[in-house]
Amino acid sequence: MLTETNIADKNLRDEVRSWLSENWTQPKAAALTQHQPMWGASDELKSWLAEVVAARWAVPRWPSEWFGRDLSNAQAKIIEAEFAAVKAPGTGQDRTNLWANTLLAGGTEVLKSKLIGPLLKSEINMCLLYSEPNAGSDLAGIRTRADRQGDHYVVNGQKVWTSGAMTADYGMLIARTDWDVPKHLGISYFYCPMKQEGIDVRPLRQITNESHFNEVFITDAHIPVDNMLGNFNQGWKMLQTALAYERLIMGEGARGPRGGNKKAKDEEILIALAREAGVLDEPKLRQQIAQAIAYKKLNALNSARGKADIAQGESSSLMSLGKLAMSRILHEEARLRTEILGPASMLEGSDYPRAEDANFLTFNAYLTSIGGGTDQIQRNIIGERVLGLPKEPEVDKKIPFRDVRAS
């Protein structure tokens, strides 16, 4: 028997499917499976995203006034499944677009009208201006200041580890707006325009020998008052929303090898590599590979169960485990790639792509175990917020920020 939901679901599926078959043409698909630049989207991707946004597939769970369709999670997943089936990107941004979700959650009407569209179409590039030399895990310890002058804020301070700052048009910035209240209560959250005189971006060389993250020196930079997200001095709350999205995304995946994943067929990469190296029949290695793949599959299952919980209106503790799980997965996969290679793992360079991958991934795994909040901080969060264990005493939580001790 067809229920009304069944009929609506079927209609929706038919609609996506026929739209995709008309619009997701072979040349577009071919152009988009090319290696994408890491910071910023290619022109082909941008023009495809523009089509997806115009057809309202980008953020189906969102309200219709913001490019959405007010759909339920279950219905949005139908759309995602159809896109995934033909490997078309662009939908599901109501889960995965950190920038747009944060903006929708806290932005002013002016800012939302100006930027949500371009964000969904990847027309503008973004970065995160959170960490400072003396405020990493302890983000509430930031010392970058924003002072109101008329219709804008004037910002001064220094940020660090800012990934993608070189190409960014805006940075999601936290700055101190009140020094006389305890540290969490005097922070505001902004969309800071990056292409202005007061912003000086200096690349840092990373252990991977790349330069994706930067130091950002901010001297009398201007931010229009409309660019504040959430309320004045309530940036900490806004930050929690943004961090939750960020950690969710980091829990679901990470950057692969530098040159793209050159794996044959659809075989698990560790199995393929062990086969290629002629060591797939070694019992100890088989056990370890099985365990590493299990970690990955179990994380995916956790994540799926967590999403189902959320769809049923329950909050899910499973979602906070993803990032920690992913950290273990990435470190373990890199370790096994090394073990499979043996002495060849001592090499690097384009003549030794397997070694290049193993070494790069060994180092890049720290992006997930340190970036976006370290594993240790993540464990504290799980212990305290999820399991309800007593909090660690925080010596500087209640005193005015002026009196807080720094490194």
Partner 1 sequence: MNKLSPEERVTLRDSVHKLLTDECSENAVRTTMETSSGFDPVLWRKLAEMGIVGLIIDQPQGGAGVGPVELEMVMEEVGAALLCSPLLASGVLAAELLKALQVEDVANRLLPTIASGECIATAVLTGQSGCWTQSGVTVTAEGDASSNEWYLTGSASYVLHGQNANLLLVAANTPDGAGMFVVDAGADGIDVASLPTFDHTLRLASISFDNVAAERINTQRPVWDAVRQALDVTLVALAGEQAGAAEHCLTATVDYAKTRIQFGRAIGSFQAIKHMAADLLLETESALSAARNAAVCLADDASNATEAISLAAFACADTFVTTAATNVQMYGGIAFTWEHPAHLYLRRARANAQLFGSSDFYRERFMQQLGA
Ligand X SMILES: Cc1cc2nc3c(=O)[nH]c(=O)nc-3n(C[C@H](O)[C@H](O)[C@H](O)COP(=O)(O)OP(=O)(O)OC[C@H]3O[C@@H](n4cnc5c(N)ncnc54)[C@H](O)[C@@H]3O)c2cc1C
Burial class of 63 by CB neighbour count within 10 A (0 to 12, 13 to 18, 19+) = exposed
Burial class of 51 by CB neighbour count within 10 A (0 to 12, 13 to 18, 19+) = middle
Give whichever of 307 and 335 is closer to partner 1, judged by the CB atom.
335
Give whichever of 121 and 212 is closer to partner 1, judged by the CB atom.
212
Q: Minimal distance in Å, beta carbon 159 to ligand X?
A: 6
Rounded (10°) CA dihedral 104, 106, 110, 111: -70
Give whichever of 66 and 366 is closer to partner 1, judged by the CB atom.
366
Q: Can you tell me which of 27, 313, 343, 390 binds partner 1, judged by CB under 8 A?
A: 343
CA distance 372 to 130: 10
CA distance 324 to 317: 13
Give whichever of 72 and 374 is closer to partner 1, judged by the CB atom.
374
Going through 21-108 in order, the beta strands assigned E by DSSP cover none
Q: Minimal distance in Å, beta carbon 250 to partner 1?
A: 15
Rounded (10°) CA dihedral 376, 379, 385, 387: -150
Residues 123-142, one symbol each (x = binds ligand X by CB under 6 A, - = not), give ----xx-xx----xx-----
Q: Measured over all CA atoms, what is the biggest interatomic distance in the chain, rounded to whole angstroms?
A: 71
> Which range of residues in 89-97, 155-163, 217-225, 295-303 is near ligand X by CB under 6 A?
155-163
| Residue 205 touches partner 1, criterion: CB under 8 A | yes
CA distance 119 to 245: 15
Give whichever of 87 and 402 is closer to partner 1, judged by the CB atom.
402
Q: Can you tell me which of 355, 357, 361, 368 binds partner 1, judged by CB under 8 A?
A: 355
Q: Can you tell me which of 141, 157, 171, 193 binds partner 1, judged by CB under 8 A?
A: 141
The count of chain residues that interact with ligand X, using the rule CB under 6 A, is: 20
> Which range of residues in 27-35, 40-48, 285-293, 364-372 is near ligand X by CB under 6 A?
364-372
8 A C-beta contact, residue 386 and residue 247: no
| Residue 137 touches partner 1, criterion: CB under 8 A | yes
Return the closest-CA partner of residue 201 out of 189, 184, 218: 218
